[in-house]
């Protein structure tokens, strides 16, 4: 394995990379791992690496298989590869790749017994639950389906499920033995209907490769170079498939950010990323810190968000260094109710459109899909075009299927270029010169027009692309569920937004119970995953970032909601909603003490000391608390005073929750006045800082 002489690479390919990125992109064949934060150019680095390996003759484009986790992210990779002039490298989700391979190998391995894909497992789970005597309410079925997915992704069989569920302390909807029975029943019903679910695609493909030597050989002759983006979210099942693909070889490049792990609830784990060098000690490892995506204002906020994270992934975080010019400060906004929040978002989007931000460069991101409705309504009222991610599948739309059929049978006139031909064919299925007035007809027209735009993009990037090539492109996109971009504001869940970026990002509905989601409450790991999800949201913004929440759902209902705990410490001092958490010690007539989590008034002495209501969640850093207590013991011994004279327990807890980094933050904690600041301030700050280096 030798690296290519530089002369073989087209000049300039790696010029757009910084030295660390270039080191990863130009590393010789073999294992490479890029561990880095959001927006530091991981995806850019791997797409350049693929282009470089192809250009320098290490591998043919068709031998490259790049995988990631969402269809959009795969689409993003494909567009970037295209931009680098790479044509023919596959960039797919794990599922799309497995599905394609299984289609190909199935007849040889299984014969002509057909299979179909099961879309949505709730019906079968319902039947199995009924037989097992478990509740069949919608919510329970969803939880059961979630457990089955988790178990399959984690390679846990129905027989092993009860033991593993107990060991991993799963929060489950029914006794483990019952869940296992539902799982077993579901598998039976599904198999006898000759259907495969999404996880089966991976399981079966893995089994075929593991058990059929000649099939594995053919596959390995075909694919030689593997790249995984967002590797922090790999499940044991996906890892097993990846290993089957590799078959003991080591041409594997992985990139990821443990602090963006957002699928642990589904069995994903950052461990293979963090332990990559243990598996491949000779791997080239690169860490990136410069953030090229976002303004320093957004980067600074992102650093604060992830700076508060705890747990194993947090140990690998790096501080992002913003590289872009200054931009606007992030905006925070509190509203009375959701419709008012949505209307304000729409109004702000209108302003952005007016100053020239493209609609396709704006996204509204939320925690759960049900939140989209209010925003769809508000945007429709403001006559702002939008598209919902995860809505109706683009390639399943009737007019799109008709268009594909027409394109397949059409022939291009010799002297017409691709775009003209495509326009002509699509005119036959309803693409008029001028768009119709609005409503469903306009939507259909937009969908057809977006196909023309794909043709435009293709002919601009692939020389001599003809109708056949165009249809192949559409087929590929359909298989990978990569719809063309329709010009409009994106509405998407935070999960679906990973790996993507927009000029303006609206993070909405940032209230407790939604962000973090209700069911994460009380489970530290789940809360940390929610925090990472919030971090993913913040880091999607290039320039304009908006964070909002509302105090009630419907206009006029009681204001029962509180803003998200993750906003604590992020709001600027002079923000009206930020006037909390600065309860000064002593009597005085200063501002009334308020809870720094929910903003509500504090009356109990202990609550005032802690700076939050007893029932509001605590995010105490246990390690830090331990260190503070040790420090206090020593100090008290030296001074020959009881420990509480140094600081009370409540004050130590407050320090361990708030992790002050300067004197200002320290005196804002109840129990620390000027005298204590003078005596102990520097030492306490040092104790807080100690943990940052561990």
| Lookup: tokens for 579 | 């006037």
From Mg ion, ligand ATP, none, interface partner of 596 (C-beta below 5 to 8 A by class): none
Contacts with ligand ATP in 20-39 (CB under 6 A)?
A: 21, 36, 38-39
Nearer to Mg ion, 256 or 593 (CB): 256
From ligand ATP, Mg ion, none, interface partner of 292 (C-beta below 5 to 8 A by class): ligand ATP
DSSP β-bridge partners for residue 363: 490, 505
Least CB distance to Mg ion at residue 88 (A): 22
Element (H, E) at 32: strand 32-36
Q: Is 83 in the site for ligand ATP (CB under 6 A)?
A: no
Question: Which of residues 52, 293, 563, 635 is near ligand ATP by CB under 6 A?
Answer: 293
Q: Is 537 in the site for ligand ATP (CB under 6 A)?
A: no
Question: By the 8 A CB rule, do 669 and 651 touch?
Answer: yes
Q: Which string of DSSP letters, residue by residue, matches 633-684?
A: HHHHHHHTS-HHHH--HHHHHHHHHH---SHHHHHTSTT--HHHHHHHHHHH
**Rg of the Cα atoms in the chain:** 27
Question: Which of residues 1, 3, 8, 16 is near ligand ATP by CB under 6 A?
Answer: 16
The rounded distance, in Å, linking the Cα atoms of 499 and 66 is 14
From Mg ion, ligand ATP, none, interface partner of 44 (C-beta below 5 to 8 A by class): ligand ATP
Cβ-based neighbour number of residue 614 at 10 Å: 11
Least CB distance to ligand ATP at residue 252 (A): 18
Q: Is 499 in the site for Mg ion (CB under 5 A)?
A: yes
User: Among 149, 352, 413, 117, which Cα is nearest to 263's?
Assistant: 149
Q: Is 371 in the site for ligand ATP (CB under 6 A)?
A: no
Question: By the 8 A CB rule, do 486 and 391 touch?
Answer: no
Q: Is 482 in the site for ligand ATP (CB under 6 A)?
A: no
Q: 371 Cβ partners below 8 Å, 6+ apart?
A: 508, 509, 514
Q: How many chain residues interact with ligand ATP (CB under 6 A)? A: 19
Q: Is 41 in the site for ligand ATP (CB under 6 A)?
A: yes
Burial class (CB in 10 A: 0-12, 13-18, 19+), 203: buried
Question: Binding marks (x or -) toward ligand ATP, 486..525, rule CB under 6 A?
Answer: -------------x-x------------------------
Q: Is 327 in the site for Mg ion (CB under 5 A)?
A: no
Least CB distance to ligand ATP at residue 80 (A): 8
Question: By the 8 A CB rule, do 77 and 502 touch?
Answer: no
Q: How many chain residues interact with Mg ion (CB under 5 A)? A: 3
User: Among 101, 112, 108, 103, which Cα is nearest to 219's?
Assistant: 101
The rounded distance, in Å, linking the Cα atoms of 384 and 379 is 5
Stretch that binds ligand ATP, among 17-25, 220-228, 606-614, 638-646 (CB under 6 A): 17-25
The rounded distance, in Å, linking the Cα atoms of 644 and 640 is 12
Nearer to Mg ion, 36 or 151 (CB): 36
From ligand ATP, Mg ion, none, interface partner of 670 (C-beta below 5 to 8 A by class): none
From Mg ion, ligand ATP, none, interface partner of 38 (C-beta below 5 to 8 A by class): ligand ATP
Question: By the 8 A CB rule, do 516 and 530 touch?
Answer: yes
Contacts with Mg ion in 17-46 (CB under 5 A)?
A: 42-43
DSSP secondary structure code for residue 571 in this structure: S
Binding positions for ligand ATP, rule: CB under 6 A? 16-18, 21, 36, 38-44, 257, 260, 292-293, 499, 501, 539
């Amino acid at each position: 394995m030798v690296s290519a002489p530089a002369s073989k690479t087209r000049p300039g390919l790696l010029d757009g990379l910084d030295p660390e990125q270039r080191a990863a992109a130009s590393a010789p064949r073999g294992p490479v791992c890029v561990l880095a934060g959001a927006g530091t150019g991981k995806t850019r680095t791997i797409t350049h690496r693929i282009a470089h390996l192809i250009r320098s003759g290490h591998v043919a484009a068709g031998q490259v298989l790049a995988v990631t986790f969402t269809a959009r992210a795969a689409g993003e990779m494909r567009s970037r590869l295209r931009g680098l002039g790479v044509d023919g490298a596959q960039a797919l989700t794990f599922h799309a790749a497995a599905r394609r391979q299984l289609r190909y190998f199935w007849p040889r391995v299984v014969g002509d017994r057909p299979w179909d894909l099961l879309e949505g497992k709730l019906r079968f789970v319902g039947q199995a639950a009924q037989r097992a005597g478990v509740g069949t309410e919608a919510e329970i079925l969803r939880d059961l389906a979630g457990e089955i997915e988790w178990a399959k992704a984690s390679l846990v069989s129905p027989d092993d499920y009860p033991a593993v569920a107990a060991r991993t302390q799963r929060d489950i909807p029914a006794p483990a033995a019952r869940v296992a029975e539902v799982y077993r029943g579901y598998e039976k019903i599904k198999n006898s209907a000759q259907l495969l679910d999404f996880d089966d695609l991976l399981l079966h493909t893995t089994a075929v490769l593991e058990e059929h030597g000649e099939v594995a050989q053919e596959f390995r002759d075909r694919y030689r170079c593997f790249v995984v983006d967002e590797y922090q979210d790999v499940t044991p099942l996906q890892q097993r498939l990846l290993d089957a693909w590799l078959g003991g070889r080591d041409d594997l490049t992985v990139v990821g950010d443990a602090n963006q792990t957002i699928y642990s609830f589904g069995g994903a784990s950052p461990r293979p990323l963090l332990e990559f060098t243990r598996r491949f000690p000779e791997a080239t490892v690169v860490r990136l810190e410069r953030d090229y995506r976002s303004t320093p204002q957004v980067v600074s906020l992102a650093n604060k968000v992830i700076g508060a994270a705890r747990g194993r992934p947090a140990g690998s975080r790096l501080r992002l260094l913003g590289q872009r010019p200054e931009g606007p400060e992030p905006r925070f906004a509190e509203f009375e109710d959701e419709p008012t929040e949505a209307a304000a978002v729409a109004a702000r989007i209108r302003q952005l459109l007016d100053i020239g931000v493209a609609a396709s460069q704006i996204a509204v991101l939320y925690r759960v899909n049900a939140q989209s409705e209010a925003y769809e309504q508000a945007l429709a009222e403001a006559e702002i075009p939008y598209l919902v991610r995860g809505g109706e599948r683009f390639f399943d739309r009737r007019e799109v299927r008709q268009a594909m059929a027409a394109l397949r049978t059409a022939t291009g006139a010799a002297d017409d270029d691709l775009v003209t031909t495509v326009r002509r064919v699509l005119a036959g299925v309803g693409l008029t010169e001028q768009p119709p007035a609005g409503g469903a007809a306009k939507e259909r027209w937009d969908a057809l027009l977006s196909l023309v735009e794909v043709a435009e993009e293709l002919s601009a990037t692939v020389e001599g692309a003809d109708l056949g090539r165009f249809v192949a492109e559409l087929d590929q996109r359909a298989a990978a569920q990569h719809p063309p971009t329709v010009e409009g504001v994106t509405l998407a869940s935070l999960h679906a937004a990973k790996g993507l970026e927009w000029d303006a990002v609206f993070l909405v509905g940032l209230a407790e119970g939604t962000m973090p989601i209700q069911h994460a409450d009380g489970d530290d790991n789940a809360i940390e995953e929610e925090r990472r999800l919030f971090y993913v949201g913040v880091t999607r913004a290039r320039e304009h970032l908006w964070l909002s929440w509302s105090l009630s759902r419907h206009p006029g209902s009681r204001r029962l909601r509180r803003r998200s705990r993750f906003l604590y410490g992020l709001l600027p001092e002079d923000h009206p909603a930020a006037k909390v958490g600065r309860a000064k010690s002593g009597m005085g007539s200063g501002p009334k003490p308020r809870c720094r989590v929910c903003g509500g008034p504090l009356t109990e002495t202990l609550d005032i000391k802690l700076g939050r209501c007893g029932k509001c969640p605590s995010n105490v850093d246990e390690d830090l608390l331990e260190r503070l207590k040790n420090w206090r013991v020593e100090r008290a011994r030296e001074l020959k005073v009881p420990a509480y004279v140094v600081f009370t327990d409540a004050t130590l807890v407050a320090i361990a929750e708030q992790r002050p980094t300067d004197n200002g933050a320290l005196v804002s904690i109840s129990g620390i006045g000027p005298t204590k600041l003078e005596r102990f301030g520097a030492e306490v700050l040092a104790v807080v800082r100690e943990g940052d280096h561990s």
